[in-house]
Amino acid sequence: MRVFVTGASGWIGGAAVDELLAAGHEVTGLARSDASAAALETKGVRVRRGDLDDLGSIRAGAEAADAVIHLANKHDWSNPAASSAAERAAVQTIGDTLVGSGRPFLLAAGVAGLTQGRPATEDDASAAHGPNSPRGGSENLALEFVARGVHTVSVRFGATVHGVGDNGFMATIAAIAREKGVSGYPGDGTNRWPAVHRSDAGRVVALGREKAPAGARLHAVGEEGIPTREIAEAIGHALGLPVASIAPSDVEKHFGWLSRFIGMDAPATSTVTRELLGWEPMGPTLIADIDSGAYSTRIPANAS
Ligand SMILES: NC(=O)c1ccc[n+]([C@@H]2O[C@H](COP(=O)([O-])OP(=O)(O)OC[C@H]3O[C@@H](n4cnc5c(N)ncnc54)[C@H](OP(=O)(O)O)[C@@H]3O)[C@@H](O)[C@H]2O)c1
């Protein structure tokens, strides 16, 4: 099968592409730079040059494919509205291109903010509708295309997709700890982050393309929720730093752009996904990854 992947050079995209290649698929990745194009070519991935704002390139990639997996995201934390607008436009373009084709269209989403006071499940619909909502309401927009003959599947990732080489949230938390000389957690640190190892996330994407019915919402979640205090303690131990609560009034100053996320309580289950895909997480847990040094190398605090 010819699979077009946006974000193929990214953290999750790289793992998903490895799974797709191992299963014998022909993968084309969207690449916006020479470096990303070269990295993809080295793996045996065909390259379609283009930016997320280059909707013509995204349309052409989707037209030429038997399945589309959309994992690219600008992640511009200084301008979330721009990231959301690009996300929505890309999803609209891919959906429009696939109308009536029955072809699979997998897109990335998250589990945060779906529920309050209880773990989110795959049955919990996102309340984000329209361009001004989180991620531009892209999950619901993509799912609307099911009624128009698109085999949409949303893959919601746990808030931290962790592992050696991670450059995202967890690496930033570790970098802030190093920079401040203290491994902090917000308030009493009982708020929970769901987690999944990168390799397990990549398998959910590949299995989701193969097995998930149209309209499915999958949870790539290996661990339902780890209290931020436990995360901070593990990072403090790994980096040889003291561990401390950060008062709510100091959270923004301490965590910077990450303050929008560090206090979230976003437990999520993956029971439906496990049954649907026959998937079980096999990679290390988040704390095992931290303990084994996955976050002990230096990454700048402003990395995203
Ligand atoms: N990682 C997590 O913990 C997590 C959790 C929940 C949801 N998600 C979602 O899962 C998806 C994949 O995340 P990730 O962690 O793999 O992200 P990532 O490592 O930051 O990768 C982002 C990908 O998007 C590409 N990209 C960025 N800006 C682009 C642009 N303007 N035009 C074209 N491509 C562009 C990047 O290309 P370059 O290689 O050229 O930079 C890269 O391939 C995202 O939608 C993310 O929000 C991730």
How high is the pLDDT of residue 106? Answer: 98
Per-residue pLDDT for 46 more than 80?
yes
Per-residue pLDDT tens digits for 66-123: 999 999 999 998 899 999 999 999 999 999 999 999 999 999 999 999 999 999 999 9
Q: Other CB atoms closer than 10 Å to residue 272's CB: what's the count? A: 15
Per-residue pLDDT for 298 more than 70?
no
How high is the pLDDT of residue 184? Answer: 98
Residue 180: enclosing H or E segment and its boundaries? helix 169-180
How high is the pLDDT of residue 302? Answer: 47
Structure tokens at 266: 């976003």
247 Cα–ligand 1 center, Å: 31
How high is the pLDDT of residue 297? Answer: 82
Per-residue pLDDT tens digits for 8-29: 999 999 999 999 999 999 999 9
Probe residue for ligand 1, chosen from 68, 107, 157 as the CB with the greatest number of ligand atoms within 8 Å: 157
Ligand 1, CB within 6 Å, residue ranges = 7, 9-13, 30, 32-33, 36, 51-52, 71-75, 108, 110, 157, 159-161, 168-169
CB 217 within 8 A of CB 242: no
Probe residue for ligand 1, chosen from 4, 48, 73, 77 as the CB with the greatest number of ligand atoms within 8 Å: 73
- Statement: the pTM of the whole predicted model exceeds 0.85: yes
β 104-110/151-157 pair status: parallel
How high is the pLDDT of residue 303? Answer: 44
Ligand 1 atom nearest to CA at 111: 6
Per-residue pLDDT for 224 more than 90?
yes
CB 183 within 8 A of CB 233: yes
Per-residue pLDDT for 37 more than 80?
yes
Mean pLDDT of the chain: 96
Reference 53, options 78, 19, 87; nearest CA is 87
How high is the pLDDT of residue 235? Answer: 98
190 Cα–ligand 1 center, Å: 28
53 Cα–ligand 1 center, Å: 14
Per-residue pLDDT tens digits for 124-170: 999 999 999 999 999 999 999 999 999 999 999 999 999 999 999 99
Per-residue pLDDT for 288 more than 60?
yes
Per-residue pLDDT for 299 more than 90?
no
Reference 261, options 174, 191, 188; nearest CA is 191
